[in-house]
Structure 1
Amino acid sequence: MDNVVEKLKSGELIPFIGLGVFEHTKAKDGSDLPYDSDSMILALNNGRAMSPRLMYEYSRAAMSLEQRKGREFIVQMTNHIYASKEYDLPFTYEYLKTIQPKYMIDTNVDDSGCKVYEDVPHFMITGVSRITADYDRFLIYKYDPKTKEYTRVEKEELDDSLPILFKPMGCMKPEMNFIISDADFVDWLTEAMGGYALPPFLKDYKKDKSYLFLGVDFSRDTFRMVAHETTLGLDTGLVVTPKEELTKKENKFVTTHNLEVLQQDCDTFLKAL
């Protein structure tokens, strides 16, 4: 893919951020932050591994913990992973902060994506699940850099007059809403397939866009489905991954969605730009 920087700046190319961008990020106390499914499970379970069946994917492990210890435990534990540590912004977010893309999808649940836009007004959309008020599985906020606060707004107010940060798996702020366990993903994806996981404006805005996938692991069904639903109508894209070989399912996803694969570490790729 040519002219990546220009396309990011123009909004033609949309960054899609996954957990892998944390791979080289350490907290100030020297500990690692989760950067893949296994390390997220260890973080959720106080550093202890779980059974092979539960270690398959962190959403499955989170569901087991939620069933044993309650919903509030898994919400607080997810927040604790990031809120209890001080850490520098991963390089991917640092780089994107210099560009402040018109639209960015960030599937991580911490506030690093918010810091990309912390000095400019912007909209933030966060995913929610298992609510009974209506079918919509999102909340929309508007950010004021003067007060450093997010204010909830109605979906009719969303437009592209400001940058848009979409966090489909939720965020630790301004409210703790996380799509983290199997039940969350099932609910969110079910409504996504019905058209209720994205605000009406985004459904049209995202059409015919290209995507830059950074730190995204497509080896598990869950995130392939999330990527499919949030980029429906895409034109093409680039997957940056350090993997030497993709699985059969990953290759099928890449081919079906007209994506190009670049075997490279995300930080190395961005620094070369």
Structure 2
Amino acid sequence: SGTELEAEQVARTVLYAPHGSVRPAANFLVADSDYVEVLTEIDIQTPIPDAVKQRRVNRGFFFVGCRFNDQMLRTYARQLMKRSTGPHFAVIDSATLTRNERRFLAEGAITVIDMPIRNAAARLVGVDASQD
């Protein structure tokens, strides 16, 4: 629902939307100036929820629905992964990757799960993506 949980309430899986969301507070990153503001704070980790900080100590990130075709997005992702042990994964159709994205994924040791997001989402929830 977009609400930050207390540590004892956190489920096994945490969905972290680092770019923000409409709910609950309509806080989201849109312009480069938004990213610059957050990046100045992220080095000391203030914009990252405690549940994410605690979990990433011995876990990695699973990027779904993200592209890394913009320098600001790559920088932001690097900062998020900075104190994480990994492994990291990204669901991306590899045929659509740019040269910079390929380099970023290799440098970050991010394993690509090569499939369209629609198919990956369907598999995650146990649905056949070919059925509509």
Amino acid at match of 2:70: R
Mapped contact 1:169–1:179 kept (Cα < 8 A)? yes
SS of residue paired to 2:53: helix
Mapped contact 1:211–1:237 kept (Cα < 8 A)? yes
> Where does residue 219 of structure 1 map in the other structure?
69
Distance 1:261 1:205 in 2: 21
Per the alignment, do residues 265 and 205 of structure 1 end up closer, same or farther by CA in structure 2, a change over 3 Å counting?
same
Asked whether 1:253 is paired with 2:101, we answer: no
Distance 1:241 1:228 in 2: 17
Give the drift of 1:204: 3.2
Gaps of 5+ in 1: 1-113, 115-122, 125-140, 143-157
Distance 2:8 2:46 in 1: 20
> Where does residue 177 of structure 1 map in the other structure?
27
Residues 49-64 of structure 1: matches in 2 within 5 Å?
none
Aligned length: 121
Per the alignment, do residues 161 and 260 of structure 1 end up closer, same or farther by CA in structure 2, a change over 3 Å counting?
same
Distance 1:247 1:216 in 2: 13
Give the drift of 1:200: 4.7
Mapped contact 1:236–1:257 kept (Cα < 8 A)? no
Give the drift of 1:213: 1.8
> Where does residue 159 of structure 1 map in the other structure?
7
Mapped contact 2:93–2:115 kept (Cα < 8 A)? yes
Give the drift of 1:246: 2.7
Give the drift of 1:250: 1.3
For the aligned residue pairs, the C-alpha RMSD in angstroms reads 2.5
Write the deviation string for residues 113-156 of structure 1: whole angstroms up to 9, x where unpaired.
x3xxxxxxxx73xxxxxxxxxxxxxxxx45xxxxxxxxxxxxxx
Distance 2:8 2:104 in 1: 29
Amino acid at match of 1:162: V
Give the drift of 1:198: 1.7
Per the alignment, do residues 254 and 203 of structure 1 end up closer, same or farther by CA in structure 2, a change over 3 Å counting?
same
Mapped contact 2:10–2:51 kept (Cα < 8 A)? no
Could you tell me which of 84, 95, 120 is aligned with 1:244?
95
Query: Radius of gyration: which is bigger?
Result: 1
Amino acid at match of 2:9: S
SS of residue paired to 1:166: coil
Give the drift of 1:176: 2.2
> Where does residue 37 of structure 1 map in the other structure?
none
Mapped contact 2:60–2:85 kept (Cα < 8 A)? yes
Give the drift of 1:188: 0.4
> Where does residue 54 of structure 2 map in the other structure?
204
Between the two structures, name the one with larger relative contact order (CA 8 Å, sep ≥ 6): 1
Give the drift of 1:165: 4.3
Write the deviation string for residues 227-260 of structure 1: whole angstroms up to 9, x where unpaired.
2222332411222212415323212221222121
| TM-score, normalisation: structure 1 | 0.39
Gaps of 5+ in 2: 125-132
Distance 1:252 1:208 in 2: 25
> Where does residue 190 of structure 1 map in the other structure?
40
Per the alignment, do residues 168 and 263 of structure 1 end up closer, same or farther by CA in structure 2, a change over 3 Å counting?
closer
Distance 1:167 1:272 in 2: 20
